[in-house]
Amino acid sequence: MKISRFIVVSCFSIVLGGLSYQTSSYAEKSQNLTLISQTNNQDNSSNLEAKGKKIIDLFFTQKFQSIPSLFSSQLREEISQDMIKQIWNNTNKQNGNFKGIKDFKQINTPNSDLAVFSLNFDKVTQEWIIIFNKKGEVIGVDIPTNQNIDDISRNFIDSLVSGNSAEARFYLHPFLKENITPKQLQARWDNFVKANGEFKGITRTTVRNGSKGDDTDVVIMDLEFNRNKEEIFVIFDSSKSIIGVDFIQ
């Protein structure tokens, strides 16, 4: 028996065949990257901060039709206005009214720039991450969720089964969103189905929480296909973002 990967991402680059990155939390990884606001690249930081604030303003004033123009061409094809509206509905229900932006920082990686906004709501303060490519186009957004990791794992698979890869990608860690598009994610699932036959359903899930020294949690999912039964491991960091998906081969 050996462990293979449905999606694998190394620290900064994607490796065909699997998905994961090596550290267990966004906070740990961000310490090893460059905070642009602490360098002399202030112009770039100010530019992305302005773009990020514009997206946030359009989102919370419900001008959903204007948001996709700031996305990359590929992301525009994947995310509909209806999906943006649904995210707004879920956010409003979960967090209460939006009060304002508390803080901003920018994190630079070789493949993208992450604009991290601390947002105040009636019920909570959250960090939202808008991911830009080097052209200054939005290639992803990371929004905290109140779902538990069992539900997230089920929704992740259900989204891929229904062909809604944009929603499935929504659950990935920001460093994975840098490198994998909804179409690429869907293609990997489709290849997985091709190898195992028609997907029949999720028969069982088991949650295994990390130890004190390891803040990664794992959801073990038993999946039934027409020709095979597969056990996959959906790996989460402390922010409930998916950082890996492995399966036994």
Alpha-carbon distance of 99 to 117, in angstroms, equals 13
Provide the pLDDT for residue 249. 60
Say if residue 29's pLDDT is above 90.
no
What is the maximal distance between C-alpha atoms in the chain? 57
Provide the pLDDT for residue 35. 43
Provide the pLDDT for residue 247. 76
At 6, the pLDDT band (50, 70, 90 cuts) reads: low
Provide the pLDDT for residue 248. 65
| Domain around 83 | 3-248
- Calculate the alpha carbon distances from 29 to 7, 190, 225, 243 in Å: 19, 31, 36, 12
Any idea what the CATH number is for the domain that residue 105 is in? 3.10.450.590
Provide the pLDDT for residue 52. 95
For residue 211, give every residue at least 6 positions away whose Cβ sits within 8 Å of its Cβ, in sequence order, or none: none
227, two tokens: 């020709």
Provide the pLDDT for residue 239. 86
Across 112-122, average pLDDT: 95
Q: Is the dihedral of CA 196, 198, 202, 204 positive or negative?
A: negative
Provide the pLDDT for residue 181. 87
Q: Each residue of 154-169: pLDDT tens digit? A: 999 999 999 999 899 9
Share of the chain above pLDDT 70, in %: 80
Say if residue 33's pLDDT is above 70.
no
Across 15-19, average pLDDT: 36
Q: Each residue of 213-244: pLDDT tens digit? A: 667 899 999 999 999 999 999 999 888 999 99
DSSP string, the chain: --EEEEEEE-SSSEETT-EE-SSS-HHHHHHTSEEGGGSS-HHHHHHHHHHHHHHHHHHHTT-GGGSGGGB-HHHHHH--HHHHHHHHHHHHHHH-SEEEEEEEEEEE-SS-EEEEEEEEESS-EEEEEEEE-TTS-EEEEE----S-HHHHHHHHHHHHHTT-HHHHHHTB-HHHHTT--HHHHHHHHHHHHHHH-SEEEEEEEEEE---TT---EEEEEEEEESS-EEEEEEEE-TTS-EEEEEEE-
Share of the chain above pLDDT 90, in %: 57
* Number of domains making up the chain: 1
Q: Mean pLDDT, the chain, as a whole number?
A: 82
Q: Each residue of 139-148: pLDDT tens digit? A: 989 888 889 9
Provide the pLDDT for residue 180. 87
At 10, the pLDDT band (50, 70, 90 cuts) reads: very low
Quote the pTM value. 0.73
Q: Each residue of 161-216: pLDDT tens digit? A: 999 998 999 899 888 888 888 899 999 999 999 999 999 999 999 999 876 666 78
Provide the pLDDT for residue 20. 42
Across 81-109, average pLDDT: 93
Say if residue 123's pLDDT is above 80.
yes
